[in-house]
Structure 1
Amino acid sequence: MIKTIIFDLGAVLIDWNPHYLYRKLFEKEEEMLYFLENICTPAWNEEQDAGRSLQEATNLLLAQFPEHRENIEAFYGRWEEMLGGAIEGTVQILRELKEGGKYNLYALTNWSGETFPVAQERFDFLGWFDGIVVSGTEKDRKPSSSFYHTLLNRYEILPSQALFIDDNLNNINAAQQLGIASIHFTSPEALRKALEERKVL
């Protein structure tokens, strides 16, 4: 019996994409893509999600790519411009679950502890959760099993009574290995259907 629902945030409830910023900084799409694939890379960004400071991360790239100083410094200097807004269909689902009052609601997110307060200020629905575990604060991240255990232990959640929602298949697989039922998020519409099939909605 499901008693707890755990949401990922980025690409599930919040639309975050570096392209929103860097399309303003590069004239050509291919130059932007090269920069984000080879300089400010996803792997580099994930280390901030795991607790590395923004300043240390920026300095690391400036030492390697001094010719890209302006664009490197923009990544966190203008980070808020990467936030595209709420994914309204999922927010509506979260609202219905909150108003229904049948489930404990938590968020487990890979997010820098330094930038997460910006999201908290912008998105009121983050206040609907009974608790949020942020990777950058814990210095651990999905899909590490220890990160899931941080949430489970802190809020006394039984894996067999939890349902986890994430857009990343690696994170889904990690949750399932811990005995947590999971839904791979692809769209709000597909999520609603999956929750209705499970009689959660």
Structure 2
Amino acid sequence: MINNIIFDFGAVLVDWNPHYLYVPYFGDADKAEWFLTEICPYDWNAQCDAGRPIKDITAERVALFPDWEKEIRMYFDRWVDMMGGPIPGMEALVREYKQRGYGVWGLTNWSGETFPLVRHNYPVFDLLDGYVVSGVEKLLKPDARLYRVLLDRYGLKAEECVFIDDNPANTAGAEAVGIHGIVFHDAAQLRKDLDCLLLGA
């Protein structure tokens, strides 16, 4: 029986996209895309999601691309400008399943330095019974150890949990430790997928 629903944060509960900062800054979507591919790519940001200090990865990047120092430093100095709104329908969905008696939890790849900057801007986070942030634990999904941190910390049984993430690699990581996985598309599809799983569990 499924008793607990675990949610990823970015692109599931809340919208985060560095293009929101850099497209207006450059005034050119193609230039922003080039910058975020060649100068500040996602795997660079993932280092702080894994617990590396922002000041360290920023200094390393500036040393590699000194002509882009201003734009590189903007990445974390103006982090909040990369945030969009809540993902449509998701706060209501979390609230509904919580009211139906399910435990609702969070498991996110997110820097322990930047998450506190936006933690209180989104009421959906207040609905969660608990959550684990990768940057605090210095582990990244889909590392099995990060899922086990959540399970162990809150006394959850893997087979009684379902994990929702927009990245199939991360739902596969959950399934590898015995947690059911659902790949997120939108709130309407998730409701169908959840009810199918919960009614059949």
Question: Does residue 4 of structure 1 match 2:4?
Answer: yes
CA distance in 2, matches of 1:158, 1:42: 32
**Distance (Å, rounded) in 1 between the aligned partners of 2:122 and 2:157:** 28
Offset, 1:187: 1.1
- Hey, which bits of structure 1, 4+ residues long, moved more than 6 A? none
Question: How many Å apart are 1:119 and its aligned residue?
Answer: 1.9
- Coordinate RMSD, CA, aligned: 1.0
Query: Could you state the TM-score of these two structures normalised by the residue count of structure 1?
Result: 0.96
Q: Secondary structure at the match of 1:120?
A: helix
Q: Does 1:161 align with 2:160?
A: yes
Give 1:4's aligned amino acid. N
* SS at 1:88 equivalent: coil
Aligned to 1:196: 195
Shift in Å, 1:33: 0.8
User: Are 2:104 and 1:105 equivalent residues in the alignment?
Assistant: yes
Cα deviation digits, residues 58-113 of structure 1 (max 9, x gap): 1111100010011101101111000001013111100111222x111110000000
Does the Cα contact within 8 Å between 1:51 and 1:138 map onto a contact in 2? yes
Aligned to 1:54: 54
8 Å contact 2:2–2:198 — kept in the other structure?
no
Percentage identity across paired residues of the two chains: 43
**What does residue 89 of structure 2 align with?**
89
Q: Which amino acid counterpart does residue 24 of structure 1 have in structure 2?
A: P
The number of residue pairs the alignment matches comes to 199
Tell me the residue number matched to 1:30: 30
Structure 2: distance between partners of 1:75 and 1:51: 17
TM-score normalised to structure 2 length: 0.96
- Where 1:194 maps in the other structure, the secondary structure is helix
Amino acid at match of 1:106: W
1:134-181: CA deviation from partner (whole Å, max 9, x where unpaired): 000111110000111101111111111111100001001111111111
Asked if 1:122 is matched to 2:121, the reply is yes
- The answer to whether the Cα contact below 8 Å between 2:12 and 2:166 also exists between their aligned partners in 1 is yes
For residue 44 of structure 1, what is the aligned residue in structure 2? 44
Alpha-carbon distance in structure 2 between the residues aligned to 1:37 and 1:80: 20
- Look up the equivalent residue of 2:25 and give its one-letter code: L
